[in-house]
Amino acid sequence: MRGDREMEVADNHKESTTRMKIYIETSIPSYYHELRTDPEIVVLKNWTQHWWDFKREEFDIFTSDAVLRELEKGDYPTKADALSLLKDTPVLVIEPPIAEIVEAYIQHRLMPSNPAGDALHLAVASYYRCDFLLTWNCKHLANANKFAHIQRINVLLGLYNPRLVTPLEFLDEEEL
């Protein structure tokens, strides 16, 4: 059943829309349902929930099967909730050229060598010309020290450069 939905999304992604497209990476549903109580984690959870509950509707949001697979891994108490958060989110198909993009990212030392991780998320968002890749992964994705390198490699590969952002960047000052 998901295969039909993925094909439909893949066909429809090329149609232009007036709303910006956001690729939802694994950390977003994870933080939305985070149970840890460290103050820093609670703040990220609150910002994630606020963006999802009040700002998400301003955008066309997408995810990929890679995100769903990551969320399905392991045994953690909020797994069902995290997966449920994305149940109505269109899933972008991981087309064969995306594997080549991932390999190029790894060869250029843009991302860690795990082909099912951050490189895959960036490749999907770039391939499908998403305006934003929304993440709390500030080590490998939303990292200002990596933006120029990512941009150079994507230009070299003829790819779109999504902006790598956190939910915080979409919140107004009074929402913080």
Say yes or no to pLDDT of 155 above 90.
yes
Least-confidence region, from 10-19, 108-117, 124-133:
10-19
* Percent of the chain at pLDDT exceeding 70: 82
**pLDDT at residue 80 above 80?**
yes
Examine residue 68 and state whether it is found in any structural domain, yes or no: yes
Contact 102, 123 (CB under 8 A): yes
Domain count, the chain: 1
Q: How confident is the model at residue 153 (pLDDT cuts 50, 70, 90)?
A: very high
The answer to the question of residue 19 being in a domain is: yes
68/96 Cα distance (integer angstroms): 18
Domain membership flag for residue 128: yes
Within a domain: 57: yes
Distance CA 5, CA 8 (A): 5
- Provide the strand spans (E) within the chain: 21-24, 60-64, 91-92, 132-134, 163-165
Query: Residue 174 falls within a domain, yes or no?
Result: no
Asked whether 9 and 88 are in contact (CB, 8 A), the reply is no
Q: Is residue 173 in a domain? A: no
Residue numbers of the domain that contains 138: 2-168
pLDDT at residue 148, as a whole number:
83
pLDDT in tens, 7-39: 445 444 444 458 999 999 999 999 999 999 999
Rg (CA), the chain: 16
* Residue 80, domain member (yes or no): yes
Least confident window among 63-77, 79-93, 104-118, 150-164: 104-118
- For residues 82, 63, 56, 158, the Cα torsion angle rounded to the nearest 10 degrees is 150
Which CATH number does the domain housing residue 94 bear?
A: 3.40.50.1010
In a domain, 175, yes or no: no
pLDDT of 70 strictly over 60: yes
